[in-house]
């Protein structure tokens, strides 16, 4: 089974290129982020023609996540649970489902808040969201099943995951608090699929549109697949499809695909 994550940076603006990749690579499961449309505007029929079942948690203009699967999708959850009953979150950043494959997998797609600028309510929201994710992920691990939490985490875990660390010192993606929250999530018992399959410095998944970042390979690694022990045991490899960044009208992120035994 191949499970992909891709921040497409507007599904309808980049539909031709996204569909071309899906036709070529045909992942079994994919989670998409920043679809930037409400559920009704997601191009569901285009993906259904390629053999995918579709679940969408959209939002007008901003955010939005989707889950696509060639296997039946069951027990869909849209939205990350709250830590208290009085909390409200109108941002569409979380989708979860059980993939009814021969070996069932639980797959979560996330678009973690960016958090910039630091010192504002946006950074506080990022850290609060990560606390909510930590609490929910801990509960999911109790099922002792293959679980993949994939998506745009908006966190650069280590110095080796950024081409120019100095340029990111003041950014929310590289703050000690963000990185500590990511480590705390891993410490629950999750494996970083890239580190397990490869781990070499320079496995970037994002290049900014500005300042020739792609041409100069000034990338960062922020798109991750975190695996429960049961999923980690089944991981056989991981591929970063960096060539997609060089296509016409690309997203600033590229697909990341984990391969698993089922």
Q: How far are the Cα atoms of 113, 127, 138, 182, 256 from residue 122, in angstroms, in the given order?
A: 8, 9, 24, 17, 27
Do 2 and 257 touch, CB atoms closer than 8 A?
A: yes
What is the CB neighbour count within 10 angstroms for residue 143?
12
- Domain 2-260 CATH superfamily: Endonuclease/exonuclease/phosphatase (3.60.10.10)
Give the list of residues 6+ apart from residue 67 with CB closer than 8 angstroms, or none.
29, 30, 31, 32, 54, 55, 56, 73, 76, 95, 97, 107, 109
Distance from C-alpha of 188 to C-alpha of 184, rounded to nearest angstrom: 7
Catalytic residue among 28, 52, 94, 111: 111
* Active-site residue identified among 28, 152, 161, 171: 152
Residue with tokens 């990022």: 126
Could you confirm whether 52 is annotated as catalytic?
no
Active site residue 171: no
Among 57, 136, 224, 253, the active-site one is 253
Q: What is the pLDDT of residues 36-94, one digit of tens each?
A: 999 999 999 999 999 999 999 999 999 999 999 999 999 999 999 887 666 678 899 99
Residues 81-135: pLDDT tens digits? 887 666 678 899 999 999 999 999 999 999 999 999 999 999 999 999 999 999 9
167-210: pLDDT as tens digits: 999 999 999 999 999 999 999 999 999 999 999 999 999 999 99
Domains in the chain: boundaries: 2-260
Query: For the whole model, what pTM was predicted?
Result: 0.97
Active site residue 153: no
């Amino acid at each position: 089974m191949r499970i992909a994550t891709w921040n497409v940076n507007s599904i309808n603006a980049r539909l031709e290129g996204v569909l071309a990749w899906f036709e070529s690579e045909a992942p079994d499961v994919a989670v998409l982020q920043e679809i930037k449309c409400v559920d009704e505007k997601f191009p569901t029929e285009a993906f259904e023609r390629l053999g995918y079942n579709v679940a969408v948690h959209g939002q007008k203009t901003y955010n939005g996540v989707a889950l696509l699967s060639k296997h039946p999708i069951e027990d869909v959850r849209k939205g990350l649970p709250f830590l208290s009953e009085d909390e409200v979150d109108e941002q569409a950043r979380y989708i979860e489902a059980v993939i009814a494959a021969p070996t069932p997998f639980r797959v979560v797609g996330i678009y973690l808040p960016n958090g910039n600028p630091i010192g504002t309510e946006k950074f506080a929201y990022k850290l609060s969201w990560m606390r909510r994710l930590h609490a929910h992920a801990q509960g999911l691990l109790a099922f002792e099943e293959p679980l993949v939490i994939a998506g745009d985490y908006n966190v650069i875990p280590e110095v080796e995951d950024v081409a120019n660390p100095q340029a990111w010192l003041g950014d929310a993606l590289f703050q000690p608090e963000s990185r500590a929250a990511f480590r705390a999530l891993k410490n629950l018992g999750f494996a970083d699929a890239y580190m397990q399959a490869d781990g070499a410095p320079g496995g970037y998944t994002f290049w900014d549109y500005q300042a020739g970042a792609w041409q100069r390979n000034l990338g960062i690694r922020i798109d991750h697949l975190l695996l429960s022990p049961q999923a980690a045991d089944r991981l056989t490899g991981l591929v970063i499809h960096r060539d997609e960044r060089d296509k016409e009208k690309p997203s600033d992120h590229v697909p990341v695909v984990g391969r698993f035994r089922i």
